[in-house]
């Protein structure tokens, strides 16, 4: 049914942002007061799409896995957690200001953009050499060297066009606040910059109470906060966002094969939700984080270029070992088969719910041409997988009289306990179809006079615009199968 449509790409980021706002997906935070930079709210349709993505991830990473369980840790954690994890000392971005435009930039991003320019100009080897040099300087914390490199590469402020740069400074991305009622007694604590540490500090609790045997994993979805220096590109880089992370604990020496396993699994996930394989790619890290042995990003082709949506990291025993050292509590696993104690190694998969949302949304918004010759018509649709769509079926009586609304409402009441439905009787049927296309509703159910006679309805398919006649009694089952998350999980 869905095949006849041809697609013409593509939308720019500004089109994505305005569509997301106009159709109730994403609003700027506290917009009444002109918004708050890099913070966004999800609207009535956005929250459904985001929840569906989170639920799918949760099911794929826990229910569908033999040896992964989930937890829900707090945002506030003991401050020593962040000392052990390295975030207090090393969770910095190098920033630089242009004195003429007063604009602030991430020094590493200026150099990365230059490297991309080399690649586009047909001299990728120059870009690679530049990235190597940047990694070397950052590793050595040689910030003056980073500034010299920016000058040597003739990098100018895109706004002022000058090279009037300040020194490069390190900026810690963690937000802090206080716990305690009296200011003098209050302890500084941080809003977690990642969910992973909530998993590490609960490793022993879960392993013991769940009688978990290595290899096993712990998954979590939750908010994280980063005081990003440059916040732009909509929900791609926010100061408050959600992460979906899984730490997989393995026997030391087996981390290579598990790294490959999760690298492949996570790519399958992104393809299964409907992202075209050509819009996804791996990107191996040049500069490894302080904890990592190997790291790869899964990147999506956003309207502003290929950018990270998920990271897969081989973290060794870095985190558990530091927590053991700083807490003074033994964090070890006794491996029956080896008759040996060790600190497990960790493979992490870490995807941002908001970036996944944005990728899914960018991928889905398209113009399709249906019909041929004089019948050909261009329509904009949100081509979401039916299981991810905010509304699964819209029930639309053809007219507002002759008992059609009552018939439609009865169908709506019966179906809405099965999946998310919408009922509307206002406006022409064409206008109502269009509105549903724009929010991604896969099925529109039109109730007409024939429905009163033989209890059948017309089901219109979003992508092809084609219609079929179905008995009302078959709707719950026929549509239900196609809009269930299980239909995606089976393909993983």
Q: Which is nearer to ligand ATP, 308 or 383 (CB)?
A: 308
DSSP 129-152: HHHHHHHHHHHTT-HHHHHHHHHH
Contacts of 1 (CB under 8 A, 6+ apart): 461, 464, 466, 468
- Does 311 engage in binding with ligand ATP (CB under 6 A)? yes
- Does 238 engage in binding with ligand ATP (CB under 6 A)? yes
Quote the DSSP letter at residue 419. S
Contacts of 294 (CB under 8 A, 6+ apart): 259, 285, 288, 313, 314
- Whether the CB-CB separation of 164 and 100 falls below 8 Å is answered with yes
- Does 108 engage in binding with ligand ATP (CB under 6 A)? no
Binds ligand ATP by CB under 6 A, chosen from 308, 319, 363, 383: 308
CB of 194 to ligand ATP, least distance (A): 6
What does the alpha-carbon distance between residue 189 and residue 8 come to, in Å, rounded to a whole number? 50
Q: Where are the alpha helices (DSSP H) in 365-448?
A: 404-415, 429-439
Place of tokens 């497990």: 344
Binds ligand ATP by CB under 6 A, chosen from 95, 219, 346, 351: 351
CA atoms within 13 A on the CB side of 233: 17
Binds ligand ATP by CB under 6 A, chosen from 50, 263, 266, 355: 355
- Does 267 engage in binding with ligand ATP (CB under 6 A)? no
Q: Report helix, strand or coil for 459.
A: strand
- Does 243 engage in binding with ligand ATP (CB under 6 A)? yes
Binds ligand ATP by CB under 6 A, chosen from 108, 310, 383, 448: 310
Q: Identify the CA nearest to 298 among candidates 385, 233, 359.
A: 359
What does the alpha-carbon distance between residue 409 and residue 421 come to, in Å, rounded to a whole number? 11
Q: Which stretch binds ligand ATP (CB under 6 A): 137-145, 325-333, 350-358, 383-391?
A: 350-358
- Whether the CB-CB separation of 395 and 421 falls below 8 Å is answered with yes
Binds ligand ATP by CB under 6 A, chosen from 314, 350, 436, 458: 350
Expressed in angstroms, the distance from the first to the final Cα of the chain is 23
Q: Report helix, strand or coil for 190.
A: strand
CB of 240 to ligand ATP, least distance (A): 8
Q: Which stretch binds ligand ATP (CB under 6 A): 137-145, 200-208, 306-314, 393-401?
A: 306-314
- Does 237 engage in binding with ligand ATP (CB under 6 A)? yes
Q: 107: part of which helix (H) or strand (E)?
A: helix 107-120
Binds ligand ATP by CB under 6 A, chosen from 97, 100, 133, 228: 228
Q: Which stretch binds ligand ATP (CB under 6 A): 11-19, 120-128, 160-168, 233-241?
A: 233-241
What residues pair up with 250 in beta bridges, in sequence order? Answer: 345
Residues from 180 through 199 that contact ligand ATP (CB under 6 A): 194
Write the burial class of residue 34 (CB in 10 Å: 0-12 exposed, 13-18 middle, 19+ buried).
exposed
Binds ligand ATP by CB under 6 A, chosen from 19, 114, 192, 226: 226
- Does 323 engage in binding with ligand ATP (CB under 6 A)? no
Binds ligand ATP by CB under 6 A, chosen from 134, 309, 382, 415: 309
- Does 241 engage in binding with ligand ATP (CB under 6 A)? yes
- Does 50 engage in binding with ligand ATP (CB under 6 A)? no
Q: Which is nearer to ligand ATP, 310 or 363 (CB)?
A: 310
Q: Total residues at the site for ligand ATP (CB under 6 A)?
A: 16
What does the alpha-carbon distance between residue 33 and residue 393 come to, in Å, rounded to a whole number? 36
Give residue number: closest CB to ligand ATP. 352
Q: Please give the residue ranges that form the binding site for ligand ATP (CB under 6 A).
A: 194, 226, 228, 237-238, 241, 243, 308-311, 350-352, 354-355
């Amino acid at each position: 049914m869905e095949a006849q449509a041809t697609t013409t790409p593509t939308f720019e980021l500004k089109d994505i942002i305005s569509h997301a706002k106009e159709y109730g997906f994403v609003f700027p935070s506290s917009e009444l007061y002109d918004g708050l930079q890099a913070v966004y709210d999800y609207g009535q349709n956005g929250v459904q799409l985001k929840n569906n993505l989170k639920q799918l991830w949760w099911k794929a990473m826990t229910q569908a896995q033999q040896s992964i369980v989930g937890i829900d840790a707090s945002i506030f954690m003991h401050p020593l957690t962040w000392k052990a994890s390295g975030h207090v000392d090393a969770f910095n971005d190098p920033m630089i200001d242009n004195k003429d435009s007063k604009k602030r930039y991430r020094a590493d991003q200026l150099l990365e953009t230059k490297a991309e320019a080399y690649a586009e100009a047909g001299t990728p080897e120059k870009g690679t050499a530049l990235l190597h040099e940047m990694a070397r300087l950052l590793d050595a914390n040689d910030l003056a060297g980073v500034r010299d490199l920016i000058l040597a590469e003739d990098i100018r402020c895109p706004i002022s066009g000058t090279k009037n740069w300040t020194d490069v400074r390190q900026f810690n991305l963690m937000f802090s606040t206080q716990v305690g009622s009296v200011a003098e007694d209050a302890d500084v604590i941080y809003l977690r910059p990642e969910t992973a540490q909530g998993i590490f500090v609960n490793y022993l609790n879960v392993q013991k109470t769940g009688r978990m045997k290595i290899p096993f994993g712990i998954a979590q979805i939750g908010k994280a906060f980063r005081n990003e220096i440059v916040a732009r590109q909509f929900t791609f880089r926010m100061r408050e966002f959600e992460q979906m992370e899984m730490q997989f604990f393995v026997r030391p020496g087996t981390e290579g094969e598990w790294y490959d396993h999760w690298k492949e699994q996570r790519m399958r996930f992104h393809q299964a939700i409907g992202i075209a394989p050509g819009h996804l790619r791996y990107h191996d890290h040049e500069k490894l984080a302080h904890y990592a042995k190997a790291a790869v990003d899964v990147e999506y082709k956003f309207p502003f270029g290929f950018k990270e949506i998920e990271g897969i990291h081989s973290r060794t025993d870095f985190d558990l070992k530091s927590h053991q050292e700083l807490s003074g509590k033994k964090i070890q696993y006794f491996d029956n088969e080896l008759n040996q104690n060790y600190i497990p190694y960790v493979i992490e998969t870490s995807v941002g719910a908001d970036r996944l949302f944005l990728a899914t949304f960018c991928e889905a918004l398209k113009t399709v041409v249906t019909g041929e010759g004089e019948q050909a018509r261009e329509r904009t649709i949100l081509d979401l997988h039916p299981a991810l769509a905010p509304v699964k079926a819209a029930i639309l009586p053809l007219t507002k009289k002759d008992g059609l609304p009552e018939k439609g409402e009865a169908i709506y009441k019966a179906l809405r306990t099965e999946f998310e439905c919408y009922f509307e009787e206002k406006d022409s049927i064409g206008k109502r179809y269009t509105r549903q296309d724009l929010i991604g509703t896969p099925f529109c159910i039109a109730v007409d006079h024939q429905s009163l006679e033989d209890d059948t309805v017309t089901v219109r398919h979003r992508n092809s615009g084609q219609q079929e006649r179905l008995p009302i009694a078959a709707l719950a089952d026929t549509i239900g199968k196609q809009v269930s998350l299980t239909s995606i999980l089976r393909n993983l």
